[in-house]
Structure 1
């Protein structure tokens, strides 16, 4: 099951530890992008029974090409015991639903696993020849400028 992390505050510290261990990001920085804000949705958590098994977080980045900040999936983490079971795809699809519900027209990801995103309908914008990382985009079909 995928739910907002705010529905399971008891998993908050575990998610911070996962993201810190996986990407060596300071816990204080992770704390800034887990809760929902006016500019982005809050983190999602995947659960199995009463245990967390994965998480996804969003972050806003200022675009070099637009006046507004773009919404990015900042982290997708699945506990090693649950990898290869579709949890990552479930998290990404849940994030797509959240973005549509928030009226977000596009969401981006910078990833070393572009196949995870492409199987969910995302398109590759750029492949970095140096790092092998892909910039992916998903068009939600929402028009944030329409009233």
Structure 2
């Protein structure tokens, strides 16, 4: 399995866009259309936000993760953020997500940041058990409970 920048694999942009759209956009309050998600992922970079990584094996995309400057408007003092971590169901349990997160931490460290943040509405136990530090629980206009975590990038 290889973790690489989506910007190096433009042939995977539509597939990644569809995964993220189905998992994170469709059931949210967002009015974003699939075409807008494709446009977003078409502009990701390898050295400035937004950054998107993909897990690849034998030409197949197994999962993805992004790094945003901010993923929670009410907490703009925290940056950067791990966002949209997704592994295709048939590849779960193989360490794909862990490898994507590890590479994300490496990229953030290379960019000169000492911490990486994330928000979750339903996976707090996973991140606690993976070594992330709980910071706080907040709410915004869409969610009543958002847990915020951070990890050191040293």
Name the TM-score, length of structure 2 as normaliser. 0.75
- Residue 125 of structure 1 is matched in structure 2 by 135
- Residue 134 of structure 1 is matched in structure 2 by 147
Question: Could you say if the C-alpha distance between residues 41 and 20 of structure 1 is closer, same or farther in structure 2, counting changes exceeding 3 Å?
Answer: closer
Q: Which runs of 5+ in 1 are unaligned?
A: 142-147
Distance in 1 between residues matched to 2:75 and 2:90, nearest whole Å: 39
> What's the CA shift for 1:128?
5.3
> What's the CA shift for 1:103?
0.6
Distance in 1 between residues matched to 2:50 and 2:126, nearest whole Å: 21
- Residue 67 of structure 2 is matched in structure 1 by 58
Distance in 1 between residues matched to 2:15 and 2:149, nearest whole Å: 27
**Length, aligned pairs only:** 139
Question: Could you say if the C-alpha distance between residues 107 and 10 of structure 1 is closer, same or farther in structure 2, counting changes exceeding 3 Å?
Answer: same
Please tell me the root mean square deviation across aligned C-alpha atoms, in Å: 2.6
Distance in 2 between residues matched to 1:107 and 1:123, nearest whole Å: 10
Check conservation: 2:137, 2:148, Cα contact below 8 A: yes
- Residue 42 of structure 1 is matched in structure 2 by 51
Of residues 101, 115, 124 in structure 2, which corresponds to 1:114?
A: 124
Q: Which runs of 5+ in 2 are unaligned?
A: 26-31
- Residue 101 of structure 2 is matched in structure 1 by 92
Q: Secondary structure at the match of 1:43?
A: strand
Distance in 2 between residues matched to 1:7 and 1:14, nearest whole Å: 14
Distance in 2 between residues matched to 1:32 and 1:65, nearest whole Å: 20
Check conservation: 2:53, 2:100, Cα contact below 8 A: yes
